[in-house]
Amino acid sequence: MDGKTDKAIFMARIGYARVSTAEQKLEPQVDALKAAGCETVFEDVISGAKAERPGLNDALTFLRRGDTLVVWKLDRLGRSMKHLVETVAELGDRGVGFRSLTEGVDTTTTGGTLVFHLFGALAQFERDLIVERTQAGLKAAATRGRKGGRKPVVTPKKLEQAKAHISDGLTVREAAARLKISKTSLYNALRDQKTG
């Protein structure tokens, strides 16, 4: 069966609505999706930050080549810009369109596809900027003699105290417990001092 025949068979608009809490109402989104021609609407009452969304998973499974997934607003679908772009790209790979009613994005049109490619480019640009800023910050800190990352749990003072406890006959575990640090951290600090 070729792609043209698939589109002729399906061409369905499938809606997805989500609210974060039970106090919020799904009805306004569902009404807008049905008014936009959605035959079926899948729903979730769950935070957008959650990776596992049963209604969205069902919608994605239900969609066929030639269908269009419709949401009321972009933030109803994606947990982040990156997640949104990845989800829409996966839909595109499956021959499924995407439409957001509020923002007017529609990947079944040439203009909508262009807009979404711009979103993808902006998301990548944002990720690259974050990496660049982080690396610049670490480099600047290093030139001032500071290392990035968390402060060590076993300070030089605690390491000396631990060594004194161990030479007094305590085990590493007992010395760590007395200093309120994990035995693994103490083992690592002792090892690092020997190799350093």
Is 20 one of the annotated active-site residues of the chain? yes
Rounded Cα gap, residues 7 and 120, in angstroms: 26
C-alpha span between 29 and 49 (Å, rounded): 19
Distance CA 44, CA 72 (A): 13
The catalytic residues are: 20
